[in-house]
């Protein structure tokens, strides 16, 4: 029989719930980063091209994006614990199957299974924490620690994956999820209490889910492949058309459905919209520029993959340090000032990258990364807490899924945009440098060296352009954060039905 919860859970149990969802989130995000390291050996074992192997990552991104809102709605409807455990179980099964893959096709299928299951984590984990930690300040701290696990997974992926692949082969990066996953699953079954929405879903919005999936598939696909296809190619225009058609149908369905998978009334809440926009800008700038750092370090500074992974360790530490500190300011400082200040600091970190050149050392990368990570981490809990606090308790899962979608799309959009900026700027600068340069020699070898130096200078300069552009985008995000105004009472405690 359901009852309304009035008394808080014991402190120990609340923090064990936090540890449980951190393990799940860490495992899912770790899997995403670790698999990229295994691609060279996969390509060799399966005898496929680099382009074909790229579909392993693309398929995962597509499936993950499509199913996030579905799991968010189901979690609010049938119970977050049920959905969380179902996702965990299927993820473990998908991991084992991926580890047993015999060709590229089977790998792609099993990665899709992993992605579908893994997409259940974010909306349900955030909802579980939001209803477990009811007091505003404590909730912000918990969400801060949880958010830091994303950065930790991104950093420790290469550090864990490299030794696993070198010593036990590429299959080990999937099979390692079995023992770790079982531990996380047992913890979830033991410590997480079931929570359901007060409002029961009678008619699940399947058509909304399908059309949203179609729109997201086309969007993520063109963002991932647009640079290779060309943004004005036939394939890209087919994707644009699919985005417009599916989005139009989706909007009409959601406006008329009694229980939409994405409730548009959220977008009438100014605080929700402004916070979502800030998240989009932050993740676009961060993901769109930081993905270039490993490329720069290995291409121009001569670092290997393991050394590059070490560069990101301070970044994880700074984000894990800053997130709970920022969360502890809840109730003391207005969230908009914390978010604006943190975004400004992150913008400074990105700007510092514009000074990189072939003479740069490891410390020249570590310092900007640390500054940027501290800024991002300091405001992370506030952003997440606002989203969880300004919507009805029974729709936290849906709101969480919208936030996850915004972050995922922003990351993909940023990578596509900044990748294109890097490519086009390099082409333009090569022509400019060549026009202003003179090679005083008739020796073909000297001409070859000269052309190589022109190309090198153009590429280095283009990286600087990307980082300056990213810092400007984050500065815009810092200003926009000042418009996030949380009304009195919006960050108050919430109630939830528990079984």
Domain boundaries, the chain: 3-205+257-498
pLDDT confidence of residue 435: 59
pLDDT confidence of residue 348: 94
pLDDT confidence of residue 490: 52
pLDDT confidence of residue 3: 41
**Of 37, 408, 412, 66, which Cα lies nearest the Cα of 224?**
412
**Of 33, 10, 479, which Cα lies nearest the Cα of 291?**
33
- By the 8 A CB rule, do 77 and 200 touch? yes
**Rg of the chain in Å (alpha carbons):** 23
**Residue 388 in 3-state DSSP?**
helix
pTM of structure: 0.72
Cα distances from 199 to residues 77, 79, 427, 496, 497, in angstroms, run 8, 12, 56, 11, 10
Phi/psi of residue 488, nearest 5 degrees: -60, 130
pLDDT confidence of residue 6: 41
Distance of CA 330 to the CA centre of its chain: 24
Which residue intervals of 169-205 are DSSP H helices? Answer: 172-175, 177-191
Q: Enter the DSSP assignment of 199.
A: S
Report residue 333 as tokens: 């400082």
Residue with the two structure tokens 């340090």: 321
Q: What is the DSSP string of 18-64?
A: HHHHHHHHHHHHHHHHHHHHHHHHHHHHHT--HHHHHHHHHHHHHHH
**Residue 339 in 3-state DSSP?**
helix
Please say whether the dihedral angle defined by the alpha carbons of residues 75, 399, 132 and 14, taken in this order, is positive or negative. Answer: positive
Q: What are the DSSP E strand ranges found in 318-435?
A: none
Q: What CA–CA distance (Å, rounded) separates 75 from 284?
A: 28
Q: What CA–CA distance (Å, rounded) separates 145 from 21?
A: 10
Q: What CA–CA distance (Å, rounded) separates 344 from 376?
A: 9
Q: Which residues of 383-422 are buried (b: 16+ CB within 10 A; e: fewer)?
A: bbbbbbbbbbbbbbbbbbbbbbbbbbbbbbbbbbbbbebb
Phi/psi of residue 498, nearest 5 degrees: -125, 150
Q: Kindly give the parts of the chain with pLDDT less than 70.
A: 1-12, 36-37, 50-51, 54, 136, 151, 154-155, 158, 195-203, 305-306, 394, 429-456, 487-499
Sheet containing 497-498, strands listed edge to edge, beginning at the edge strand earlier in sequence: 3-4, 497-498, 195-196
- By the 8 A CB rule, do 323 and 377 touch? yes
Options 3.30.1490.190, 3.10.20.440, 1.20.1250.20, 3.40.30.10; which CATH number does 3-205+257-498 get? Answer: 1.20.1250.20
The partner residues of 196 in beta bridges, in order of sequence, read 497
- By the 8 A CB rule, do 105 and 156 touch? no
Report residue 188 as tokens: 């979830």
pLDDT confidence of residue 496: 35
- By the 8 A CB rule, do 262 and 207 touch? no
């Amino acid at each position: 029989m359901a009852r309304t919860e009035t008394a808080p859970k014991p402190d120990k149990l609340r923090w064990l719930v936090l540890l449980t969802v951190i393990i799940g989130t860490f495992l899912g995000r770790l899997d995403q980063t670790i698999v990229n390291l295994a691609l060279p050996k996969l390509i060799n074992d399966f005898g496929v091209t680099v382009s074909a192997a790229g579909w392993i990552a693309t398929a995962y991104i597509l499936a993950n994006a499509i199913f996030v809102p579905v799991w968010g709605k189901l979690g609010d409807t049938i119970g977050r614990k049920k959905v969380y455990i179902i996702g965990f179980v299927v993820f473990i099964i998908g991991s084992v199957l991926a580890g047993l893959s015999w060709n590229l096709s089977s790998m792609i299928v099993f990665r899709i299974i992993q992605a579908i299951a893994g997409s259940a984590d974010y909306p349900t984990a955030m909802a579980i924490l939001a209803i477990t930690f009811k007091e505003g300040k404590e909730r912000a701290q918990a969400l801060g620690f949880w958010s830091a696990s994303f950065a930790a997974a991104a950093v420790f992926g290469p550090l864990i994956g490299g030794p696993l692949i070198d010593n036990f082969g590429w299959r080990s990066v999937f099979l390692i999820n079995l023992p770790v996953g079982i531990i996380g699953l047992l913890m979830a079954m033991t410590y997480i209490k079931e929570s359901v929405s007060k409002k029961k879903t009678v008619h699940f919005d399947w058509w909304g889910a399908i059309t949203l999936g179609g729109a997201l598939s086309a969007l993520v696909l063109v963002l991932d492949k647009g640079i290779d296809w060309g943004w004005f190619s036939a394939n890209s225009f087919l994707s644009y058309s699919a985005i417009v058609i599916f989005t139009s149908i989706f909007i009409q369905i959601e406006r008329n459905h009694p229980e939409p998978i994405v409730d548009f009334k959220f977008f009438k809440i100014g605080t929700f919209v402004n916070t979502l926009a800030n998240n989009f800008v932050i993740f676009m700038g961060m993901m769109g520029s930081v993905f270039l750092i490993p490329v720069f370090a290995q291409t121009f500074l001569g670092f290997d993959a393991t050394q590059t992974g070490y560069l990101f360790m301070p970044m994880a530490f700074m984000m894990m340090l800053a997130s709970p500190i920022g969360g502890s300011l809840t109730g003391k400082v207005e969230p908009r000032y914390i978010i604006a200040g943190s975004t400004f600091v992150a913008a400074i970190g990105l700007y510092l990258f514009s000074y990189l050149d072939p003479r740069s050392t490891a410390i020249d990368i570590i310092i900007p990364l640390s500054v940027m990570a501290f800024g991002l981490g300091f405001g992370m809990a506030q952003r997440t807490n606002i989203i969880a606090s300004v919507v009805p308790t029974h729709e936290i899962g849906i709101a969480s899924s919208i936030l996850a979608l915004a972050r995922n799309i922003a990351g993909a959009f940023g990578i596509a945009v900044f990748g294109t900026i890097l490519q086009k700027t390099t082409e333009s600068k090569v022509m400019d440098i060549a026009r202003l340069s003179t090679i005083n020699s008739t020796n073909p070898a000297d001409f070859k060296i000269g052309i190589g130096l022109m190309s090198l200078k153009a590429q280095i300069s283009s990286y600087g352009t990307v980082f300056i552009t990213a810092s400007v985008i984050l500065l815009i995000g810092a200003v926009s954060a000042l418009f996030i105004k949380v009304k009195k009472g919006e960050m108050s405690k919430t109630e939830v039905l528990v079984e």
